[in-house]
Amino acid sequence: MKSEFNWEYAPAPEAKDHIKLKAQYDLFINGKFVKPYSKKYFATYNPATEEKLAEVAQANSKDVDLAVASAKNAYDKVWKKMPAKERAKYIFRIARVIQERARELAVIESMDGGKPIRESRDFDVPTAANHFFYYAGWADKLEYAFPNRNPQSLGVAAQIIPWNFPLLMAAWKIAPALATGNTVVLKPAESTPLSALKLAEIIQDCDLPPGVVNIITGFGDTGAAMVAHPNVNKIAFTGSTDVGKIIQKAIAGTNKKATLELGGKAANIVFDDAPINQAVEGIVNGIFFNQGHVCCAGSRLFVQENVAAEVIQKLKARMETLIVGDPLDKNTDIGAINSKEQLDKINEYLKIGSKEGLELFQTSASVPKKGFYCKPTLFIGAAQSNRVVQEEIFGPVLTIQTFRTIEEVIEKANNIPYGLSAGVWTDKGSKIFNLTSKLRAGVIWANTYNKFDPTSPFGGYKESGFGREGGLHGLMPYLKF
């Protein structure tokens, strides 16, 4: 289907000649980059070009031991004793250096992960800096945040993050941990380690006392060794529900505290009294933002039956204008899928949905031959029982269901193992309040979607995990009272 808005844009690639990547990255432990005991390294690739960007160290359990020992030592000897207002200065410093090096970080994030430069530049990197600014402000005000409760730090936090928002997830984890007086061992995902390693360089430049933040790279077994380590007091994990369950089992019977931010399958609900054009923008932002690699993506669209035809027609027209391609091009709306494995998984779901008899719509956008790409996709006429409705796809794939009454849509929206987020589009405030009190989801956006702010808590219900990150709530999992 050709849209009436089919402009052609000249290429506008962001320069990458200023990016300096080492051929090989070691582990950042005790303030220095050190060689791994394992002596092994693995490659990280640019998913848009399939080029190797660098090699990073593969930490084994001895490396994890060293990182945890350095975090514990820094906690006992330095960080726990430091006056909170001094701690805050370091966190402010990290925030400012992220701002100063924003362009470099944004380009690296897009090269390593495949996300459009517009997003890494305008969302990921500034929001990461904002998290450090925000939590720096709390560091010396904890007794005001929790009056008469004498908040105390926990010790060493093991933090494990996924590949969809590498730098931002690192900021979500590190900033509140430092503000509350804990020290950190962080592991980025294997396919996107570079921005976390750049953050390690920033932390070194900021003269943070050695060992307060340690950043180690590796695979799932590295994460498992961090979780199992006896000197770890707190686990902060963002990733899949499957691994979240493994972690919960591993820490059962210990007194380790944990927050788990897991998968999602959010309902985005459009009523017939909604501003339809605005809603269409929100639907597009909800599922195609970051290639749908978003735990809170609005991946299940529910449209009230009497406006379904209009919404679908406008949505298809808007999707036709989306540009899929080079993540470093400023015009690109949809970049590369993060890895070959993730693209295979999405393609598998495209087959499943088609086999389930759903109408598949994909835009006519051309996609580059090299690299991992997926066109924005709709499954129209979906039902609750479809696997593409029930399971998390984590790609630019939207299922569309219709509904007649508010009771029906609440029941359908909640009838899923996940409960991370939801969206509601309506002209009526009363409907918004009715829904927000009945939808079992941690975050609900009204007449907007995918908006984030460091002051606002984020987290799930049910199999989407527990604990909150962001805002005042985000301090609590790092404190004992």
Catalytic site positions: 261, 295
**In 143-291, beta strands by DSSP E:** 152-153, 156-160, 183-187, 213-215, 234-238, 257-261, 267-270
Complex with ligand NAP: residue 335 or 465, whichever CB lies closer: 465
Partner from ligand NAP, Mg ion, none contacting 324, C-beta within 5 to 8 A by type: none
Q: Which two tokens stand for residue 300?
A: 């299940």
- Residue 469 beta carbon to ligand NAP: minimum distance, rounded to whole angstroms: 7
Partner from Mg ion, ligand NAP, none contacting 112, C-beta within 5 to 8 A by type: Mg ion
Distance CA 146, CA 140 (A): 12
Q: Which residues bind to ligand NAP, rule: CB under 6 A?
A: 160-164, 187, 189-190, 219-220, 223-224, 227, 238-240, 243, 246-247, 261-264, 295, 392, 394, 420, 460, 464-465
Partner from Mg ion, ligand NAP, none contacting 224, C-beta within 5 to 8 A by type: ligand NAP
Distance CA 230, CA 46 (A): 36
Residue type, 458: F
Show contacts with Mg ion in window 374-433 (CB under 5 A).
none
- Residue 187 beta carbon to ligand NAP: minimum distance, rounded to whole angstroms: 6
Partner from ligand NAP, Mg ion, none contacting 163, C-beta within 5 to 8 A by type: ligand NAP
φ/ψ bin of 315: left (φ > 0), alpha (ψ from -120 to 50), beta (otherwise): alpha
112 is an interface residue for Mg ion by CB under 5 A: yes
Return the half-sphere exposure (C-beta side, CA atoms, 13 A cut-off) of residue 301. Answer: 30
191 is an interface residue for Mg ion by CB under 5 A: yes
Distance CA 279, CA 322 (A): 16
Partner from Mg ion, ligand NAP, none contacting 285, C-beta within 5 to 8 A by type: none
- Residue 231 beta carbon to ligand NAP: minimum distance, rounded to whole angstroms: 17
Q: Which residues pair with 402 in a beta bridge?
A: 303
Phi/psi of residue 454, nearest 5 degrees: -60, -25
Complex with ligand NAP: residue 247 or 389, whichever CB lies closer: 247
Complex with ligand NAP: residue 92 or 461, whichever CB lies closer: 461
CB 193 within 8 A of CB 56: yes
Distance CA 175, CA 201 (A): 16
Complex with Mg ion: residue 110 or 377, whichever CB lies closer: 110
Distance CA 296, CA 241 (A): 13
Q: Which residues pair with 422 in a beta bridge?
A: 267, 444
Number of residues that bind Mg ion (CB under 5 A): 4
Complex with ligand NAP: residue 224 or 232, whichever CB lies closer: 224
195 is an interface residue for Mg ion by CB under 5 A: no
Terminal Cα-to-Cα distance of the chain (whole angstroms): 60
Complex with ligand NAP: residue 247 or 409, whichever CB lies closer: 247
Work out the number of other CB atoms within 10 angstroms of the CB of residue 205. Answer: 13
Complex with ligand NAP: residue 161 or 424, whichever CB lies closer: 161
- Residue 440 beta carbon to Mg ion: minimum distance, rounded to whole angstroms: 35
Partner from ligand NAP, Mg ion, none contacting 166, C-beta within 5 to 8 A by type: none
- Residue 33 beta carbon to Mg ion: minimum distance, rounded to whole angstroms: 19
Distance CA 470, CA 450 (A): 15
Work out the number of other CB atoms within 10 angstroms of the CB of residue 252. Answer: 8
Q: Which residues pair with 28 in a beta bridge?
A: 33, 215
Q: What DSSP designation does 18 have?
A: T
- Residue 293 beta carbon to Mg ion: minimum distance, rounded to whole angstroms: 13
Partner from Mg ion, ligand NAP, none contacting 44, C-beta within 5 to 8 A by type: Mg ion
Site string for Mg ion, 34-63 (x = CB under 5 A): ----------xx------------------
Distance CA 335, CA 330 (A): 11
Complex with Mg ion: residue 112 or 124, whichever CB lies closer: 112
Q: Which stretch binds Mg ion (CB under 5 A): 108-116, 221-229, 242-250, 295-303?
A: 108-116
- Classified as helix, coil or strand, 235 is strand
- Residue 40 beta carbon to ligand NAP: minimum distance, rounded to whole angstroms: 13
Partner from Mg ion, ligand NAP, none contacting 60, C-beta within 5 to 8 A by type: none
Return the exposure string of 162-185: e unless at least 16 CB atoms fall within 10 Å of the residue's CB, then b: bbbbbbbbbbbbbbbbbbbbbbbb
Residue closest to ligand NAP (Cβ): 223
- Residue 281 beta carbon to ligand NAP: minimum distance, rounded to whole angstroms: 23
Range list of H helices, 120-193:
125-138, 142-145, 166-179
> Using CB under 5 A as the criterion, which residues of the chain lie in contact with Mg ion when the complex forms?
44-45, 112, 191
